[in-house]
Structure 1
Amino acid sequence: MAGECVPEGPNLKEMGEEELWELINDNRHRISLGVRPCILIPYLRQVKVLTEVDEDEILSCHNLTNRCMRTSYMLDLLRTQGRNGAIALLEGLMIHYPTLYTQVTGRKPSTEPSRFSGLIKYSELTEYLIRAVTGMQTELQEARNEAGKMGARCSFLESEVRQLMAQEEKSRHLQTENERLQRHLSSLQRDVTKLKDEKCDLYIRYTAAIEEKSAINGRLHDLNLQASCFLKISPCASGRQTCY
């Protein structure tokens, strides 16, 4: 909570080397996860507990494949500097990671010169703090700019998501309509098949009727022939009867 009192931990200036490193090692995992070496190294270089070679090795070694490993290796190098290495690390945390500093030491951070150990001259410390604050302000502005870009990107993506959802809804509607039309088409195809069957049946009946008509015509023709012959024969037979 804001304004909450942080209990004061032990005075770091009065702690010996082993006590300081025991405090750091107890929080080694937390420090390794929370610290970016590139942020602390300028101060550690300023107070001469790390060299340029150390910096290159920490930041460029191929065996250190992630930030946690680089931070852990930096702690190992600082351990070789004894008490000064521990004090410089904690002072760096107080400047750049005040929340983490409080978690590790139990003390409230302060940038008052009197709170520093004397590893760096007051004039150099003031100059460094000014550069640090300027750098933090620059990082903050860059973070805000990046947040603005990310916000615009998020708005753009949200707009695209809404469009995609609208297209998906339209696609579902079209799919439903397509399924309805497919069912209607299947029904029409069944009707067409039924009509074809009926047409085929009518054609068969029509063919049978034609054949039947042809047979009747043939029979009628035969009957007409028979009738004609009968009519021709009938007068002769009448004449013979008269002769007798």
Structure 2
Amino acid sequence: MGMIGSPEINKVIRQILSPTLKENGFDKVNTRHNWGWKDNCIWVLDITAVGKYFSDVTGWSPMSVYVELGIYYDFVPPKDGEIKIGTKGELLPKAHQCQLQKQLYCSIKQSNYTNHFDNPAEQRRNDIWWIEPDGANIEEVLNEIKQSFLSVGLVWLIKYTDLVTAFKEIESEHDSFNKFYKARYFAEHLNDNLKFKEYCHLLEKERKRIDGLFS
């Protein structure tokens, strides 16, 4: 059997995963890029192949995939990079542009594929699903991703669609410009005046500190 390509993998994604996403809150299901709109939140699920360069460096097969989830909160202005806009004017953020992000993890035993890797860290990775170059295990992988989405991903998305819970999560992150930036807009949106002032102050202080490093 020859090498499998993206179209064959996409077909299996559409058969196995897409219906589950549609049934569970995703409105725009585009195979590898999926979105759901919930009031101020946009759910994102991206499936990305590791690609040839990563494959050459690490030993993972180029078609192997990782799955990223994100929630984009539309009251936080994008800090860097424009958010793609769809034909109906809807925002189509990528997972890495979301203010909260999560990766799904593989629970299939993959050591028979990875134990020959040079790098022990790559051998231990469980945030990538190995896809056989001939695609022999593609259905197993997609069923596993589906289960991981249902048991972990969906729970996470629902939990952090609650803005108060999401704000608490952001506040628990280690102090950084990024944290203060997100928290400032969350506090404003949630009408928490005290925290709004606090995070405006911290953000300004951090901005000055960073500017000082480059002046």
TM-score range, shorter chain: under 0.3
TM-score (norm 2): 0.25
Which is greater in Rg? 1
Report the structure, 1 or 2, having the larger strand content: 2
